[in-house]
Amino acid sequence: MSYSARMQKNHLYSVLLAPRGRIRMADAGAQIAQMYLSPFDQVVGIIGESGSGKSVLIKGMFPGLELTNDDEGVNVRPLPIMNLEDEGFFKPHTYHMDIRFELGFHQMHELADAVIHAVNSGRRVIIEHFDLIYEALGRNADLLIGIGEELIVTRPSYFGPEPEQVSNIVFESVIYRKMAHTTEDLCEYCLQKQGVFRYAHGDVRHGFILSFGERPNIDMQTLEADIRTLIDQNIPISYADDNHILIGDKLHYCTAPRMHVDNTSEIPSFRLHPELIRDSITGAYMLIGIVGFGNDVELVDINSI
């Protein structure tokens, strides 16, 4: 057993905040691959809602891997893993499969047989919507990743966790990521009225962070009131293209356009922290928005376990 495999032996699970935006999600994938992936992992299971960033995370973990679903405009036919013996000498080592997408073309038992055959042939298979094929496959993933509000990275054993347990967590929590992301975009939209356009993005549970290198001139009370007005107007939020959403009929730039609530009425308990917070480590000034908590929650408690 290699050193990296030994290091993973006692790994139960790790939790990372699920970032918003393709670049940050791809970076998270690269981080997970570096820290948790073993060269001997043959089945990597990914669980998460459509639009949660599974395909982008996989691209970060496995640069150059040919994805076979229709996310990001990629669609490979026929499915390479179904023809493992027909690829000649130059057979790939790693295959990708989106179970929900492939069920439109194959029976579940056919997909499970293809995965088992690939594993027995020494190949590795990356499986999106792993929870759907788990029972038919008859084995757990070597590395299992769930994407909700947080990224859950776990190495299952006989004692679990089962894919259903991970699925229950991420599908329940992803709504907070949608609410936070939508509110973040509403905040950006309202900041334009105050002439503020440049900031960095950060993540926090049930919320968002916009960071500034220098203290910006922002009227925080007006900003919060403007955001609340948009929320109260029950404005539809919809996908426009890979880089934009529609806030009502207004086009707005966004790098994760599929990760939003459908309507601003679905955002409860929004509040903007009344003051910019200066990070004592980086020196940056942080604008912090919170959703889904009561008004009495303290900022220092938001990321508490």
224-270 per-position pLDDT tens digit:
999 999 999 999 999 999 899 999 999 999 988 999 999 999 998 89
- Domain 175-301: give its CATH code: 3.30.980.10
Q: Where are the domains of the chain?
A: 3-161, 175-301
Look at 60 and 301; give whichever has higher pLDDT. 60
* Residues 156-175: tens digit of each pLDDT: 988 889 999 999 999 999 99
Q: Give which of 246, 253, 298 is closest to 277, Cα–Cα.
A: 298
What's the pLDDT band for 2 if we cut at 50, 70, 90?
A: very low
Q: Give which of 258, 60, 76, 259 is closest to 145, Cα–Cα.
A: 60
Structure tokens at 37: 């992936």
Using a pLDDT cut of 70, give the percent of the chain over it: 91
Asked if residues 133 and 108 have their Cβ atoms less than 8 Å apart, the reply is yes
Beta strands in the chain (DSSP E): 13-17, 43-48, 94-98, 124-128, 143-147, 150-154, 200-204, 207-212, 237-241, 244-247, 250-253, 271-272, 277-278, 285-290
Using a pLDDT cut of 90, give the percent of the chain over it: 74
**Whole-structure pTM over 0.85, yes or no?**
yes
Q: Give which of 2, 71, 69 is closest to 37, Cα–Cα.
A: 2
How far is Cα 169 from Cα 38, in angstroms, rounded to an integer? Answer: 25
Q: Give which of 66, 43, 50, 27 is closest to 144, Cα–Cα.
A: 43
In this structure, which CATH number among 3.40.1160.10, 3.40.710.10, 1.10.150.50, 3.40.50.300 belongs to the domain 3-161?
Answer: 3.40.50.300
Q: Give the Å distances, CA to CA, from 111 to 35, 133, 254.
A: 29, 8, 35
How high is the pLDDT of residue 43?
97
pLDDT at 305 over 60: no
Q: Using CA of residue 117, residue 59, residue 26, residue 292, what is the dihedral sign?
A: negative
Asked if residues 155 and 57 have their Cβ atoms less than 8 Å apart, the reply is no
Same fold, 3-161 and 175-301: no
Structure tokens at 217: 């001139």
pLDDT at 296 over 80: no
How far is Cα 263 from Cα 236, in angstroms, rounded to an integer? Answer: 4
Average pLDDT, the chain: 90
For residue 29, the number of C-alpha atoms closer than 13 Å in the C-beta half-sphere is 23
* Residues 168-223: tens digit of each pLDDT: 999 999 999 999 999 999 999 999 999 999 999 998 999 999 999 999 999 999 99
What's the pLDDT band for 5 if we cut at 50, 70, 90?
A: very low
Q: What average pLDDT does this structure show over 147-157? A: 95
